[in-house]
A and B are shown apart, each in its own frame.
Chain A
Amino acid sequence: KNQVEQSPQSLIILEGKNCTLQCNYTVSPFSNLRWYKQDTGRGPVSLTIMTFSENTKSNGRYTATLDADTKQSSLHITASQLSDSASYICVVRDNNAGNMLTFGGGTRLMVKP
């Protein structure tokens, strides 16, 4: 069964600090992996997409990495801001006919002043 596990479940950091969120998956065959940011009470918004051949991709202060061999991804947030407080969800798409998505449970990040 396809699974996506994220860690930590929750995280509190001080404004200005960096943090790294982890995503491990067992989805096969792999198509792509997206990180979404979900503000409280809002729908998820895509931050980055990683395909099999990509190791690193940046979007402003967000940098995602992918190791397709170990089936791990990380999302690194640099110089955190209060507005980074949100849930970050890792979503992996398979490459079967249905192109199904498997969602992780998310990491709830709180940035404190």
Chain B
Amino acid sequence: GAGVSQTPSNKVTEKGKYVELRCDPISGHTALYWYRQSLGQGPEFLIYFQGTGAADDSGLPNDRFFAVRPEGSVSTLKIQRTERGDSAVYLCASSPQVGGELFFGEGSRLTVL
């Protein structure tokens, strides 16, 4: 596609539920990043992929968070047993290569009630 696409744009769920957030990067971009942004804050790094492999997952806050990119294109961020503190906008970005400009999606706003 023309840009990075994220779905859903909004997700409201109950505490304890499982959530999946999808990111469709710009075609051909090998690097893909996930960030979390709370209101009034800058994006906080979660994980990035180079191809299919997670090159750095040091930003994932705990083992409830997991991300995959099985074919080196679309990525899914998975959150188990959601907590109210997980409420945030989850941003995905892709880049033609590691170290290149990041192109961000519009984000998925997650609200955990």
Contacts and interface: CB of A to CB of B under 8 A. Distances in A.
A105 B99 contact: no
Interface in B59-97: 91, 93
| Size category of the binding interface on chain A | 20 to 34
Contacts of B55: 98
Contacts of A6: 42
Contacts, number: 47
Interface in B15-47: 35, 40-45
A45 B43 CA distance: 13
B41 A106 contact: yes
Given A93-B99, A98-B56, A99-B99, A43 B42 contact: no
A89 B42 contact: yes
A43 B101 contact: no
Interface string A48-76: 01000000000000000000000000000
Interface of A: 4, 6, 31, 34, 41-46, 49, 89, 93, 98-101, 103-106, 108
